[in-house]
């Protein structure tokens, strides 16, 4: 576990004195300005950051606010003069810092605070690790259920994930995992569909209005299924909007922009895959999508032209493909059948 502490102060004398007095009990690094500290944090993580309040260029409150944005797991401590206590209290109340200490700070008080901050960091990272493991496990189970219950939808989701990953890398997106999770779970709502109807839909056959509406409702069903899973809210929104046409919007928050981009990446990947399943060559599929360019985000459509669209024979499935299932999937079948019954019942009541 990372337990390095970064001290930030424009007074070098204070920094070196702190480093000398604490090096036996702690891993200490120092920075002479907020700018230098932010650069250091860009190269590595810190468990605790202790910053002086009064610094030229950027004060400690603004600096720790930025630390909170870029490294929320880092515990933040502010050193202030007595006259600055009111500003420090405001920073605590705003959630920017964990604790503040007044200068000069007795050694005993400082070490107790550092020990408490390191323990707080341990608790934060342990909770994050547990949440991450739960998230990964949840996604894995859902994908396995999809593979056992609807192999055609699972095959499509696997292909979509390949396209989405390449598109996201071309677009240099942040949080690539969200885009890949949205791709792998984009068809999860199909677990409530009739397999025969789904097969006919993938073949491009004519369906009755009711059957077509039910198949197309899978995005809504999948999104509702995922909304209650921690940290999958953005993924759920991408899945909900996967069939939307592109619309130019402005003044969106970064999180909303990411969801809109994720939905468009899904839309482009899904439409390309649908055309490929209908027998179009990659060039023909791209040409048809360009004729309807207003439906898509132009940056995503351009990225599609730059990625490797070739699928090997063993990766490409046609609507007539069947999946008997690996042994472990067959063992999983009784559980998935029960889950499927529950999900179908749930979908009817939503």
Hey, what long-range contacts does 341-344 have (CB within 8 A, 24 or more apart)?
A: 343/191, 343/192, 343/225, 344/192
- Counting beta carbons within 10 angstroms of the beta carbon of residue 193, is it exposed (0 to 12), middle (13 to 18) or buried (19 or more)? buried
Question: Does the residue 286 lie in any domain?
Answer: yes
Task: Choose the weakest-confidence range: 127-141, 241-255, 269-283.
Answer: 127-141
Looking at every residue in the chain, the average pLDDT score rounds to 81
Question: Does the residue 135 lie in any domain?
Answer: no
312 shares a domain with 244 = yes
Asked if omega into 104 is within 30° of 0 (cis), the reply is yes
In DSSP notation, 184-212 reads HTTTGGGGGS-HHHHHHHHHT----HHHH
Looking at residue 239, its pLDDT comes to 94
Question: Does the residue 244 lie in any domain?
Answer: yes
Q: Give the domain extent around 23.
A: 4-126
Question: Does the residue 133 lie in any domain?
Answer: no
At 118, the pLDDT band (50, 70, 90 cuts) reads very high
165 shares a domain with 64 = no
pLDDT in tens, 36-79: 999 998 888 899 999 988 888 888 888 988 888 888 889 999 88
Looking at residue 95, its pLDDT comes to 61
Average pLDDT over residues 152-174: 91
Measured in whole angstroms, the distance separating CA 65 from the mean position of its chain's CA atoms is 22
User: What domain count does the chain have?
Assistant: 2
Task: Give the Cα separation of 160 and 179 in Å (integer).
Answer: 11
At 312, the pLDDT band (50, 70, 90 cuts) reads very low
Percent of the chain exceeding pLDDT 90 equals 31
Question: Does the residue 113 lie in any domain?
Answer: yes
Contact 197, 213 (CB under 8 A): no
Task: Give the Cα separation of 198 and 290 in Å (integer).
Answer: 27
Q: Is the predicted pLDDT of residue 88 greater than 80, yes or no? A: no
Average pLDDT over residues 187-209: 86
171 shares a domain with 102 = no
233 shares a domain with 118 = no
Hey, what long-range contacts does 176-180 have (CB within 8 A, 24 or more apart)?
A: 178/234, 178/235, 178/238, 178/258, 178/262, 179/238, 179/262, 179/265
Q: Is the predicted pLDDT of residue 339 greater than 50, yes or no? A: no
Task: Give the CATH number of the domain where residue 76 resides.
Answer: 3.40.50.2300
Task: Give the CATH number of the domain where residue 173 resides.
Answer: 1.10.3210.10
Looking at residue 83, its pLDDT comes to 58
Secondary structure E strands in the chain: 4-8, 27-31, 48-52, 75-80, 99-102
pLDDT in tens, 204-256: 788 899 998 888 899 999 898 888 776 788 899 999 999 998 876 655 677 88
Residue with tokens 């039910």: 214
């Amino acid at each position: 576990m990372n337990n390095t502490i970064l001290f930030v102060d424009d007074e070098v004398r204070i920094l070196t004195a702190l480093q000398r007095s604490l090096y036996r009990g702690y891993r200490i690094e120092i920075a002479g300005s907020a700018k230098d500290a932010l650069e250091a944090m860009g190269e590595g993580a810190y468990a605790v950051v202790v910053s002086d309040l009064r610094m030229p260029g950027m004060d400690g409150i603004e600096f720790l606010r930025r630390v909170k944005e870029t490294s929320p797991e880092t515990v933040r401590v502010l050193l202030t003069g007595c006259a600055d206590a009111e500003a420090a209290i405001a920073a605590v109340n705003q959630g920017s810092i964990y604790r503040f200490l007044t200068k000069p700070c007795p050694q005993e008080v400082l070490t107790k605070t550092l020990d408490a901050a390191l323990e707080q960091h341990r608790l934060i990272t342990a909770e994050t690790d547990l949440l991450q493991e739960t998230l990964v496990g949840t996604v894995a189970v859902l994908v396995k259920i999809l593979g056992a219950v609807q192999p055609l939808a699972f095959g499509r989701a696997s292909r979509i994930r390949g396209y989405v990953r390449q598109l996201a890398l071309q677009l240099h997106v942040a949080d690539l995992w969200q885009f890949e999770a949205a791709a792998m779970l984009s068809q999860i709502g199909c677990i409530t569909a009739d397999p025969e109807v789904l097969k006919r839909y993938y073949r491009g056959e004519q369906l009755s209005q009711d059957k077509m509406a039910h198949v197309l409702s899978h995005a809504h069903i999948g999104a509702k299924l995922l909304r209650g899973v921690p940290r999958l809210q953005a993924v759920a929104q991408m899945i909900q909007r996967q069939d939307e046409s592109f619309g130019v919007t402005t003044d969106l928050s970064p999180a909303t922009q990411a969801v809109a981009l994720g939905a468009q990446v899904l839309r482009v990947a899904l439409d390309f895959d649908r055309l490929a399943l209908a027998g179009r060559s990659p060039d023909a599929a791209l040409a048809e999508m360009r004729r309807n360019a207003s439906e898509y985000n132009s940056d995503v459509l351009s990225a599609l032209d730059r990625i490797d669209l070739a699928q090997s024979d063993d990766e490409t499935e046609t609507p007539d493909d069947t999946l008997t299932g690996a042994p472990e999937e067959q063992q999983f079948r009784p559980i998935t059948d029960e889950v499927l019954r529950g999900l179908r019942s749930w979908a009817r009541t939503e």
